[in-house]
Amino acid sequence: MGLVAEQAAIIHSDYSLSFSSRQPAVVHLQGQGSAIQVKNAPILLAGSIAACQSILHSHKDRSHLWGPGTGGGVLNDWSRITMNPKVFKLHPRSGELEVLVDGTYFIYSQVYYINFTDFASYEVVVDEKPFLQCTRSIETGKTNYNTCYTAGVCLLKARQKIAVKMVHADISINMSKHTTFFGAIRLGEAPAS
């Protein structure tokens, strides 16, 4: 009896995750700090493997490689505005957003560059592999204020982690809540393989 009830709960829970349910699986995180100076952000190699391939690579938990703060370039000063806890889990120290169920996701993000020399770029990474990149360049020596928005559809497996990562050193960003944010919408199941 207990087992039957548990299965029923699982099925119900499973339905409540999909778009056919009434409560959509979404997350919207906002920056909660003020200006941050990113230093020594690593430059990713051009030949790095892409995330979100239809043939999903096995992934290892490499989250221990991320330092707290933005030392590794990952933004982590997020405030949960909306989050379905059955689908998303925020790791506050690393800044990573873990998805708890397989599926097709729409991922979006915006970063507010407030001062940079020559070139500013960030990536939306999935398990540390780049998925989307958002770039601005501008005349050297000027003060620059530019929001940079990007978004796309990605197949994700449970336990994969999304993050927003600066890819160039020496940039100031403003993590105010309306200018720097990060979110996802689970659109439904992943295609059957």
Q: Which residue number, 63 or 135, has a Cβ lying nearer to its own copies?
A: 135
Q: Is 100 in the site for its own copies (CB under 8 A)?
A: no
Write down the least CB distance from residue 2 to its own copies, Å.
Answer: 25
DSSP-based three-state secondary structure for 78: strand
Report d(CA 2, CA 57) in Å as an integer: 37
Quick note: the x/- pattern for its own copies over 32-71, rule CB under 8 A, is --------------x---x-xxx-----------------
Q: Which residue number, 69 or 100, has a Cβ lying nearer to its own copies?
A: 100
Q: Which residue number, 18 or 117, has a Cβ lying nearer to its own copies?
A: 18
Report d(CA 49, CA 159) in Å as an integer: 19
Q: Is 75 in the site for its own copies (CB under 8 A)?
A: no
Compute the radius of gyration of the chain from its Cα atoms: 18
Q: Is 26 left (phi over 0), alpha (psi -120 to 50) or beta?
A: beta
Other residues' Cβ atoms within 10 Å of the Cβ of residue 68: 12
Quick note: the x/- pattern for its own copies over 136-165, rule CB under 8 A, is xxxx--xxxxxxxxxxxxxx----------
Residue with tokens 């059957």: 192
